[in-house]
Amino acid sequence: MVEDQRRIAHLDMDAFYASVELLRYPELRGLPVVIGGGRDAQPVRQPDGSHTFSRLRDYVGRGVITTATYEARALGVGSAMGMMKAAKLAPDAILLPVNFDAYRQMSRLFKNAVAAIAPDFEDRGIDEIYIDLTHVEGETHELAQRIKQAVRDATGLSCSIGVTPNKLLSKICSDLEKPDGLTVLGYEDIPARIWPLGVRKINGIGPKATEKLAALGIATIGQLAAADAGLLQDHFGAHYSAWLADAARGIDHRAISTSSESKSISRETTFERDLHARQDRGALSSILTQLCDRLADDLKRKGYVSRTISIKLRFDDFQIVSRNVTLPRPVADATGILQAARECLKRVPLQRRLRLLGVRASTLEPPGAGPQATLPRQGELFA
């Protein structure tokens, strides 16, 4: 198929966890709300039916924020930020615990609503999907509006959609008009709509690469598109520099993967700043735990258990290291995944700062094919 004839949408639920919580506690609408507390942050229902909520200033611990409302983000608070740091920026923000059961239910509802209109979509996690609209009847803008309305009717929540010829551009565009946004873009729109954006808008360019590009005088995607290929290769290597050049021009040939049979499932995050294994142990521990929680949620949602758990690390010099462990019996629970991930981490010398951490489950099979493993609890990394 000719590339520019494709219609690929990226649908991203708006502040998903926080928005689900606002359905339960509508009195919090318009207020800065942070999701990520433990059981002690559970709202207390009063005799008159109202609730008493915990405040971020009262939090003590090493946890990190899972997500936050847009009002909280306006105060400088964001996902993966340490709670204690966030408390200094937004001490009066409401703190709520994570409720994965509610989020899973809403995730199923919005995906079923999309599938009724456009059945070919790629599941990218609990709150985002890529949708192939190429062969779906309807004018693009109207079709995307219909999907947005179907999601709202099914969940009461808003989403943002970008529709372009490929996944890379659609991922950028779904974020341009949040919340409740809709952006439709063709290749001819790239110079006006994409090139003025900062390079960080490209999914795959993290904080460290952004800093290195800035040192070369490259701050926008347009400047990256115009950059000398030799200069990029000297500083980023042949493979990554070639990808940077393609991404800046909006080139992405990846297909939508709609296969129901997953070979592996992974979760990873790039940090806002490089983290030290010892000095930032608390933050890393919380991030690793959350990644394992989300990976366990993905396995449960897709109906798999895993016999092989892997970790992926990207250091501040862009070196990528991975380790895996094959288990005698499969796991699917967050505790088992976390213990296996920590076993993998023991085999990596953590002498450089980290910019990315990921956990992957592979060798997947349906539950019941074998008893789940309970790993012995040993000395823990990031604990």
**In this structure, are residues 75 and 85 in contact, taking their beta carbons and an 8 Å threshold?**
no
Burial class (CB in 10 A: 0-12, 13-18, 19+), 130: buried
39 CA to centre of own chain: 24
Helix (H) or strand (E) holding 268: strand 264-275
Judge contact between 332 and 296, C-beta under 8 A: yes
Residue 177 is among the residues annotated as catalytic for this protein: no
Q: Which tokens in the block code for residue 182? A: 């809709």
Instruction: Single out the catalytic residue among 21, 71, 122, 128.
Output: 128
By the 8 A CB rule, do 299 and 265 touch? Answer: yes
Task: Render 156-191 in DSSP notation, one character per residue.
Answer: S--EEEEEESSHHHHHHHTTTT-SS-EEE--GGGII
User: Which three-class secondary structure state does DSSP give residue 19?
Assistant: helix
Please tell me whether 280 is known to bind a ligand: no
What's the longest Cα–Cα distance across the chain? 69
Q: Pairing state of beta strands 33-37 and 67-68?
A: antiparallel
CA-to-CA distance for 183 and 68, rounded, in angstroms? 23
Provide the edge-to-edge strand list for the sheet that holds 8-13.
121-123, 128-132, 8-13, 159-164, 182-184
**Exposed, middle or buried, 300 (CB in 10 Å: 0-12/13-18/19+)?**
middle
Residue 40 annotated as lining a ligand binding site: no
Are 345 and 309 within 8 A, CB to CB?
no
Query: Please, are residues 189 and 249 in contact by the beta-carbon 8 Å criterion?
Result: no
* DSSP result, 200-225: GGSTT--HHHHHHHHHTT--BHHHHH
The encoded tokens of residue 291 equal 């990644």
Annotated binding site for Mg(2+): 12, 127
Annotated binding site: 12, 127
Catalytic residues: 128
